[in-house]
Structure 1
């Protein structure tokens, strides 16, 4: 069993408040969950209204499948016109590792 962790640093477009930020980020998180069946959460930059970090966790039987899912999630977020993907960090863990 392999576990992947993807952290996406995102700049939001025309957003001027934390309430507007939520209205942009929530649908992205919901779409990632529904489309890729992964665990997703807003993972940082909670006090900044134009920035966010999105964390994605993936569990799959092979490292290749984990990488494919993380790559697909990254492309999905990068393709959103209301977002600018600033950076993405992928980490892969084997179940036997501590």
Structure 2
């Protein structure tokens, strides 16, 4: 079994200066990422209005499939015109990692 996770550091538009406005940007991204059959949640920067950190985790039988899933998620987030992807940090784990 192989697992992988990625954290997306996002810069939100200037009009996301309230938590309600911030949620209007974050929720559609989280919902869209769930279509990749991954676990996804806002995992950081909840107190900052113009930023968000979204975490994604995937599990598969081989390392290549995990990487393909995470690549697809990263392409989706980076292709969203309403937010700016500042960074994507990945970690991959396999049977030899303990």
Q: Let me know the Cα RMSD of the aligned residues.
A: 1.0
Q: Distance in 2 between matches of 1:28 and 1:22?
A: 10
Normalised to the residue count of structure 2, the TM-score between the two structures is 0.94
Is 2:78 aligned against 1:51?
no
Runs of 4+ in 1 over 2 A off after TM superposition: 95-98
| Residue segments in structure 1 that go unaligned for 5+ positions in a row | none
Contact 1:3–1:95 (Cα < 8 Å) also in 2: no
2:17 corresponds to: 16
Normalised to the residue count of structure 1, the TM-score between the two structures is 0.94
Deviation at 1:67, TM superposition (A): 0.6
Q: Distance in 1 between matches of 2:20 and 2:42?
A: 14
Counterparts of residues 81-96 of structure 1 (less than 5 Å)? 81-96=81-96
1:67 corresponds to: 67
Q: Distance in 1 between matches of 2:95 and 2:8?
A: 23
Q: Distance in 2 between matches of 1:40 and 1:74?
A: 12
SS at the partner of 2:16?
Answer: coil
| Residue segments in structure 2 that go unaligned for 5+ positions in a row | none
